[in-house]
Amino acid sequence: MSHLSLRAVLITVAVFLLASVAAFSDSQVRTVRLSFVKGDVQIERGSSQHFENAMLNLPITQGSRLRASGDGRAEIEFEDGSTIRLAPNSSIEFPELVLRESGAKASSIKVIKGTAYVDFAGEKNEEFVLQFGDEKLALTHSARLRIGVGDEGAAVAVFKGDIQVEGPSGTLAVKKNQTGNFDFSSSGRDTLVKDIEQEPLDAWDKQQSDYHVRYASNSYQSYSPYSYGTADLAYYGNFFNAPGYGMMWQPYLVGAGWDPFMDGAWAFNPGFGFGWVSAYPWGWTPYHYGSWVFLPGYGWAWQPGGAWNGWYNQPRVLNAPSGFKVPQAPTTGTHSLIVNRGTGSTIVAGNKVVIRNNSAGLGVPRGEVKNLAKASQQVQAHGMVTEHVHTAQAPPMSTAGSRQPGMISGPRSQQQASSPRTSSPAPRSSSPASMPSSHPAPSGGGGRSPR
């Protein structure tokens, strides 16, 4: 081989390596949270090529597709607290969920059909792009909107902020309380309407948004690297100062017989293997960060700290009581393994819920029981309690996904959010009994020793 030929080969290899490094730097794995699931919701995780039932707290990665059928609804929560809520008979996919070399998080979400509510937090260094049809819009500051996609076109209603939608016919600016209509036909005419038509699920979307506003912590940096999941920690439990351990968190509605791994599943992902997915509505941050510690007199509590774990996580367990088997992931197979050892809670009527001891909030609709701390005290005293729930009612969405452009929900009324509760749990009078060990649950692996 001549010197010139060798040089050409070396240059080609160098260019390839540089391109590979650049691609790798923008391909670091990110996981966002499936933070709400109700009804028939399914997920297809890119490489699996088939849909399966979606589970609450399932990590969503790049290439995933989510669909809500029938009466199904879902919410996806991003690291900065931004959310996308999916209405019945709707589907979205995630073409891009990566971390740039610069540290910026890049998210690309495509609304395939139906209706999606978007609440973008507007933090810096966030790339957040929404796609529908041949149109796309890049959100750069705080905004709230809804995208409705039908067979012949789409409509975007802006509840907060202002956006620029780019498409084949140019750019359309849509401001607060305006609706942009987009025609998918060959004429491709886009129109702007200075109004927003009301839709059936506006009340539900507003209720979920108010929940996040009311309970999201402004100081989450002190106990979590990210803000997603922090509203659930505030609603379903509370922090307290445990002597010798520092600040710990514990869910309401737990007693001596409860452990953090009574309800959930070992979920399999072809690219990551098995990871623990908690069934508890607050079960995101405490299973991706920190350790679960058994405290005599208090029971199990979560201690923040350490490194954040993405999809493949085995929560750390410290100071486990005698008889507790350290949870272990399955070593074979590819099917999810359900763990169900808890008492749960049961909805007995449309506006009531029976909450049992050791349910840890399982089955309690988020934000719909006014004082969960008080309910927890009553459960500890009586074993169970019946509570009224306050749900935003909405008529069925039987035609979602088939509406034409312009059929968009109305603006949401403003509501003052109150501050979250800050009372701390009291120590129990006696140490909890050893945890039941007849069924394996997820595993801890090493970690810090209690202080």
**Model confidence over 169-214: pLDDT tens digits?**
899 999 999 999 999 987 778 999 999 999 999 999 999 999 999 9
Answer yes or no: is pLDDT of 416 > 80: no
Q: What's the CA dihedral at 260, 261, 267, 268 to 10 degrees?
A: 110
Neighbours of 16 (CB within 10 A): 10
Q: What is the mean pLDDT of residues 229-250?
A: 95
pLDDT band at 267 (very low <50, low <70, confident <90, very high): confident
Q: Which residue has the tokens 């009311």?
A: 214
Q: What is the mean pLDDT of residues 423-433?
A: 43
Q: Give tens-digit pLDDT for 252-263.
A: 999 888 999 999
What token pair was written down for 276?
A: 């623990």
pLDDT band at 15 (very low <50, low <70, confident <90, very high): very low
Q: How far is CA 104 from the centre of its chain?
A: 20
Q: Give tens-digit pLDDT for 49-88.
A: 789 999 999 999 999 999 999 999 999 999 999 999 999 9
Residues 6+ apart with CB under 8 A from 213: 417
- For the chain, state the CA radius of gyration: 24
Q: What percent of the chain has pLDDT over 90?
A: 57
Question: What Cα–Cα distance (Å) separates residue 217 from each residue in 121, 229, 280, 282?
Answer: 14, 10, 19, 14
Answer yes or no: is pLDDT of 245 > 60: yes
Q: What is the mean pLDDT of residues 255-284?
A: 89
Question: What Cα–Cα distance (Å) separates residue 270 from each residue in 27, 257, 289, 338?
Answer: 17, 35, 23, 18
Neighbours of 60 (CB within 10 A): 23
Q: Give tens-digit pLDDT for 359-372.
A: 999 999 999 998 99
pLDDT at 23 (0 to 100): 38
In angstroms, the CA 278 to CA 334 distance is 18
In angstroms, the CA 399 to CA 330 distance is 42
Q: How far is CA 330 from the centre of its chain?
A: 25
pLDDT band at 425 (very low <50, low <70, confident <90, very high): low
Torsions phi, psi for 213 (to 5 deg): -65, -40
pLDDT at 14 (0 to 100): 41
Residues 6+ apart with CB under 8 A from 254: 299, 300, 357, 358, 360
Q: What is the mean pLDDT of the chain?
A: 81
Answer yes or no: is pLDDT of 47 > 90: no
Question: What Cα–Cα distance (Å) separates residue 402 from each residue in 51, 110, 151, 153, 368?
Answer: 22, 17, 6, 10, 31
Of 262, 256, 308, 318, the closest CA to residue 287 belongs to: 308
pLDDT band at 336 (very low <50, low <70, confident <90, very high): confident
Q: Is there a contact between 323 and 359 (Cβ–Cβ < 8 Å)?
A: no
pLDDT at 351 (0 to 100): 85
Answer yes or no: is pLDDT of 137 > 70: yes
pLDDT at 326 (0 to 100): 76
Q: Which residue has the tokens 């403003």?
A: 414
Strand 384-388 relative to strand 52-53: parallel, antiparallel, unpaired? unpaired
Q: What is the mean pLDDT of residues 124-138?
A: 93
pLDDT band at 217 (very low <50, low <70, confident <90, very high): confident
Answer yes or no: is pLDDT of 111 > 70: yes
Question: What Cα–Cα distance (Å) separates residue 297 from each residue in 174, 240, 380, 431?
Answer: 57, 13, 15, 4
Answer yes or no: is pLDDT of 109 > 80: yes
